[in-house]
Amino acid sequence: MPQGKPAVVPEDGLTTRQRRNRPLLLVHTGPMKGKSTAAFGLALRGWNQGWSIGVFQFVKSAKWKVGEENALRALGRLHETTGEGGPVEWHKMGEGWSWARKQGTEEDHAAAAREGWAEIARRIAEQRHTLYVLDEFTYPLKWGWVDVDEVVSTLRDRPGHQHVVVTGRDAPAALVDAADLVVEMTKVKHPMDNGQKGQRGIEW
């Protein structure tokens, strides 16, 4: 794609503008770091365009913090006070629908993950956000906590103009098949190979 030009222009009856502005389903998968980082970078671009941003983190603890959370929450407050950019909502396991807020069985955790997905599906039906970041969402799918076919159907048939990016290792084949863009992060080198642990500003 030299200079952002597509190699093939399909005969689909759409204008260049219509084809350019179609809502996308993106998947960031693979064993290497950078999947969430790329998704949050996309959220920053969307915020700058005035989009409504909804981040949903399927992490194991509400105490887990990343720098992008503070930055995007701050941008959400900036929008509220000045109107600049777009609104931002950031939700994660541990804030109302957590599998780690209290001890429980695997079925308890699975039920919480399903509840989280149900909330996302409701928002998609309502066309609440322009961009959804479903961070680490491949794991509940991999573990069978959330039905893959239901997720794929909901994302594929979503109404209006809503972009969705899903991150996490081992993305299910059905999700990959349904996606418009799939990135697989692979490792060439990593500081941990030489015994170096994660550090501030790089990993969080």
Q: How far apart are CA 155 and CA 157, in angstroms?
A: 6
Helical packing angle, 67-82 and 35-48, nearest 10°: 10
Q: Which two tokens stand for residue 171?
A: 């993305």
Residue 59 confidence class, pLDDT cut points 50, 70, 90: confident
Among 66, 27, 19, 23, smallest CA distance to 46 is for 23
Supply the pLDDT for residue 108. 74
Rounded CA-CA distance 158/17 in Å is: 20
Whose CA is closest to 149, among 108, 119, 117, 123? 117
Q: For residue range 138-184, what is the model confidence (pLDDT) as tens digits?
A: 999 999 999 999 999 999 999 999 999 999 999 999 999 999 999 99
Sign for the pseudo-dihedral over CA of 132, 165, 190, 2: negative
Q: CA nearest 148: which of 125, 179, 123?
A: 179
pLDDT in tens, 103-123: 567 777 788 889 999 999 999
Query: What secondary structure letter does DSSP report for 197?
Result: P
Quote the CA–CA distance of 134 and 149 in Å, as a whole number: 16
Q: Is the Cβ–Cβ distance between 166 and 28 less than 8 Å?
A: yes
158 CB-near residues (< 8 Å, 6+ apart): 23, 124, 164
**Is residue 100's pLDDT more than 50?**
no
For the stretch 71-86, pLDDT in tens is 999 999 999 999 999 9
7 — phi, psi (to 5°)? -75, -30
DSSP state letter for 192: G
* CA 9 to each of CA 55, 137, 156: distance values in angstroms, whole numbers, following the listed order: 33, 32, 22
List, in sequence order, every beta strand (DSSP E) within 117-167.
131-135, 163-167
- All structural domains of the chain, each given as residue ranges with its CATH number in brackets, are 19-62+85-186 (3.40.50.300)
Cβ–Cβ < 8 Å for 156, 25: yes
